[in-house]
Amino acid sequence: MALTTSEVARLAALARITLSQDELSRLAPQLDVILEAVAQVTEVAGDDVPPMSHALPLTNVFRPDQVRSSLPVEAVLAGAPAVEDDRFRVPRILGEEQ
């Protein structure tokens, strides 16, 4: 189960987090220790035990389909890193390898 730095780098890439070489070499052994400690839960995973995803047995919850006012555009854009023409301005999204 030992995690290599290249595996951690792959996970970080999946999570869209840039990590320095330093961080990678510090994280790998730490994650290893944590994963080893939590692995004991696999002991209890009997087929007869149903998984629990949530504390309460809720099914779909609906609210009445009523028109409500939304936040003003200026209020929402006030916190944006970049704005253009009353919209969020984002870096280019095409032409990347992934």
Partner 1 sequence: MSELLHTPAADLAGLIASGRASSREVTQAHLDRIEAVDAGVRAFLHVDGERALAAADAVDAKRSSGGQLGPLAGVPVAIKDIFCMSGAPTTAGSRILEGWRPPYNATVTQRVLDADLVVLGKTNLDEFAMGSSTENSGFFTTHNPWDLERIPGGSGGGSAAALASFEAPLALGTDTGGSIRQPASVTGTVGVKPTYGGTSRYGVVAMASSLDQPGPCGRTVLDTALLHQVIAGWDPLDSTSIDAPVPDVVAAARAADVKGMRLGVVKELGGEGYASGVEQRFREALDVLADAGAEIVEVSCPNFRYALGAYYLIMPSEVSSNLARFDAMRYGLRLGDDGTAGAEEVMARTRGAGFGAEVKRRIIIGTYALSSGYYDAYYGSAQKARTLIARDFERAFEKVDVLVSPTTPTTAFRIGERADDPLAMYAADLCTIPSNMAGNTAGSFPCGLAPEDGLPVGFQVMAPVLADDRVYRVGAALERQLADRWGGLLTDQLWARENGGAR
Rounded to a whole number of angstroms, the CA Rg of the chain reads 22
Q: Which of 21, 46, 85, 86 is the binder for partner 1 (CB under 8 A)?
A: 46
Among 22, 40, 65, 86, binds partner 1 (CB under 8 A): 40
3 and 31 in contact (C-beta within 8 Å)? yes
* Angstrom distance (rounded) from CA 35 to CA 14: 18
CB of 9 to partner 1, least distance (A): 10
Collapsed DSSP state (helix, strand, coil) of residue 70: coil
> Helix 21-38 to helix 5-14 angle, to the nearest 10 degrees?
90
In the region spanning residues 63 to 92, those forming contacts with partner 1, defined by CB under 8 A, are: 63, 71-72, 75-76, 78-82, 88, 90-92
Footprint of partner 1 on this chain (CB under 8 A)?
A: 3, 8, 11-20, 23, 27, 30-31, 33-35, 37-46, 49-56, 58, 61, 63, 71-72, 75-76, 78-82, 88, 90-93, 95-96, 98
